[in-house]
Structure 1
């Protein structure tokens, strides 16, 4: 829950409402995304217990498909996933800061870049400092969520929300609108892929791991559904659509101007904490790849800061790519690209469960995915739906994501030829 809950719960409502133009269908998209996430988590957990190695998803890909696909996942994480997360969250932080203090909207890009630089600077001070920031923000980020949910449920709203109306707006195709909404919600559930990384350290993974996944992700899904219900209860779908300040506006309606500002500050701290978490984790991926000598410039990427032993060049590389994405991208564009790329690799991991069961039946599996093969098939179907519909509706985004990922192939062989 601490890994998954971040900024998406506050800001993806705008994109979901824009795609569906219907409160009922938007709420259904949040539920379905949670269900797919649970199926994905239960599936990946089997690989986590069978291959309990540091590196998580990269190790699962390598064990099933070989070294190159595993490198491409690490490459995609290094140049797309983590930098895009940092860029998107920096944009959101700057947007909320401008809204809170009524600043000039033209400073959005500079403010976002300054935000990314500030978080990177904290991480260069050392892992201990970054971890303290993470622990502090983890507690604070839950406060605005529970405040909006609890007061939103027990306060009379101005809008009648129909839960059974699953139609889209007049100008929107149902399939296109719903697929776009589903893709948008999945950013808010991002982080579930790491749910099985501690499986090897559990005393009873067969019993405790599915319980942690089902209960944890079910609670996340419930929280997401309730907070979005609160948004639609106080704002009509037209006002939520495309409105990145919807959470702040609902907070003002619930708690008044002063209370609304306090909740908005809590949201800002939540976003900053999520940004710090992605920065702290992301700088270790190119560093880990460099330790395997997979880059031509591996020696440079393994350089650490003198006093704090943080990967210096890897940190600056991630910051540089992130700042470039801030300049050329928007919040929804960046998050859609990273969700598409990561769900492509997630699909490979879902398939790996079937492949490894056939190729290596002797492999010890302390935990096996429940309701096999139904659960992984649901995850696979959901992943295929997301990839196919995104390809149809946003082909240029897909081409950009695939192109950047495939750039890793010459980098891989160029590094190996050294």
Structure 2
């Protein structure tokens, strides 16, 4: 039975299509258009390179299976803040929420906005990238401030445009024909490359490109029939992105000499010139710009829901939970856009992303581990959806995520330590905020 909407529970108006578009838009950013150049430096097999993206997608699907079970059990918007609170208690949930509400979404928004400004120079060479980035952040925020109906139309429309442009690029690449001496069939050399350290490190960067597969869990409380729609959105969105990523990389490799791609970050621009000629840079620049708009839109939609949930549970943050008569969390949206703008102006978003990565991975790791914990200690809980492939799927996700955490701790120890200190600061703030608990969710947790 669906609870009636209240000030803290707006009407469930988001369809499966809209939720799926949020997953696709949040996942497909600039990562898939830039990371192949670093992979081909150490991996020469076409089969091995595509296998990277298949394995990365499979791990993302494993995570989606697990998150879908938790979201169907606890259909409250806010993602890891809600899940970790339910699995371990409010202290750990607050730390995850604190991270998301401050920089967890603002820094990726800033990065996407700056990328928008840079790629837009292919179309508007005289326009300052910083102003273009700030403009797109606030233009998207303005759409979401108007209400759920406008947000849905904007998100679905731009995501469909994004998919159409990517499909057009893929079809143009295949229509041009291969021409490059690379095979995607398995060979005798593949096992050695797949089991190499270079393959494992490359998988870390592939997984970054797949981040966002859990996007719809942040708005699950606003999705119609979430017990059915949320799992469908996560699985359909992630599955669609896997197909796009494999096809895109196949096009890059079959149309462009590997020597030109090796070590380059502008992989899509280089491939675009081989497919479309000298105008390829403008074509690909326009494609990526159009694709980044729904990416920023997805994060502008889902990020403030964490802030709202925290405001509902903790009195000092209550002003951030306020909604307009139409259910729009205006203060939370403006706060996130403001932080993203500040990061853009100070050019500090890359540094922020470096030190929050290990924390975000740790939150995902603990969330899936929490699913396993609840299966053991609370088998009596109603589970409208059960993770497919349990316990293998959570084991795969936990193993790969743990590897990524260890890798980051090894290669970026200072940045990782700074992120962990930020989580510790969240724990201290929790102690202060918990002095005045409030909200329906806090009452439910005490029962």
Q: Same fold (TM over 0.5)?
A: yes
Contact 2:23/2:215 (CA < 8 Å) preserved in 1? no
Q: Distance between the aligned counterparts of 1:293 and 1:211, measured in 2?
A: 32
SS of 2:23's partner is coil
The match for 2:23 is: 4
Deviation at 1:174, TM superposition (A): 5.1
Deviation at 1:44, TM superposition (A): 2.3
- Of stretches 54-63 and 196-205 in structure 1, the one that deviates more from structure 2 is 196-205
Say whether 1:389 aligns with 2:410: no
The aligned length equals 406
SS of 1:407's partner is helix
The match for 1:349 is: 367
- RMSD of aligned C-alpha atoms? 3.4
TM-score (norm 1): 0.83
Query: How big is each residue's C-alpha offset from its partner over 1:221-279, in whole Å with a ceiling of 9 and x where there is no partner?
Result: 12201101211222334543564543244334323455764553233122111102211
Contact 1:350/1:376 (CA < 8 Å) preserved in 2? yes
- Of stretches 387-396 and 48-57 in structure 1, the one that deviates more from structure 2 is 48-57
The match for 1:61 is: 84
Contact 1:251/1:264 (CA < 8 Å) preserved in 2? no
SS of 2:105's partner is helix
Residues 38 and 202 of structure 1: is their aligned pair in 2 closer, same or farther, counting only changes over 3 Å?
Answer: same
Q: Distance between the aligned counterparts of 2:101 and 2:238, measured in 1?
A: 26
The match for 1:271 is: 292
Deviation at 1:201, TM superposition (A): 6.0
Match for residue 134 of structure 2 among 109, 113, 133: 113
Runs of 5+ in structure 2 lacking a partner?
1-19, 437-447
Say whether 1:18 aligns with 2:44: no
Say whether 1:72 aligns with 2:91: no
Contact 2:77/2:309 (CA < 8 Å) preserved in 1? no
Say whether 1:301 aligns with 2:320: yes
Q: Distance between the aligned counterparts of 1:134 and 1:309, measured in 2?
A: 17
Deviation at 1:160, TM superposition (A): 2.4
The match for 1:133 is: 154
Query: How big is each residue's C-alpha offset from its partner over 1:107-127, in whole Å with a ceiling of 9 and x where there is no partner?
Result: 434432333233233333444
Deviation at 1:360, TM superposition (A): 1.2
- Of stretches 118-127 and 226-235 in structure 1, the one that deviates more from structure 2 is 118-127
Match for residue 328 of structure 1 among 347, 361, 369: 347
TM-score (norm 2): 0.78
Residues 83 and 200 of structure 1: is their aligned pair in 2 closer, same or farther, counting only changes over 3 Å?
Answer: closer
The match for 1:81 is: 104
Q: Distance between the aligned counterparts of 1:72 and 1:203, measured in 2?
A: 25
Contact 2:57/2:242 (CA < 8 Å) preserved in 1? yes
Contact 1:249/1:260 (CA < 8 Å) preserved in 2? yes
Deviation at 1:168, TM superposition (A): 11
Q: Distance between the aligned counterparts of 1:282 and 1:119, measured in 2?
A: 13
Q: Distance between the aligned counterparts of 2:336 and 2:161, measured in 1?
A: 26
Residues 381 and 299 of structure 1: is their aligned pair in 2 closer, same or farther, counting only changes over 3 Å?
Answer: closer
Residues 184 and 13 of structure 1: is their aligned pair in 2 closer, same or farther, counting only changes over 3 Å?
Answer: farther
Contact 1:117/1:319 (CA < 8 Å) preserved in 2? yes
Q: Distance between the aligned counterparts of 1:408 and 1:86, measured in 2?
A: 21
Runs of 5+ in structure 1 lacking a partner?
none
Contact 1:287/1:311 (CA < 8 Å) preserved in 2? yes
The match for 1:51 is: 74
Q: Distance between the aligned counterparts of 2:139 and 2:230, measured in 1?
A: 36
Match for residue 417 of structure 1 among 427, 435, 441: 435
SS of 1:283's partner is helix
Residues 319 and 379 of structure 1: is their aligned pair in 2 closer, same or farther, counting only changes over 3 Å?
Answer: same
Residues 59 and 50 of structure 1: is their aligned pair in 2 closer, same or farther, counting only changes over 3 Å?
Answer: same
Q: Distance between the aligned counterparts of 1:209 and 1:131, measured in 2?
A: 16
Contact 2:312/2:321 (CA < 8 Å) preserved in 1? yes
The match for 1:407 is: 425
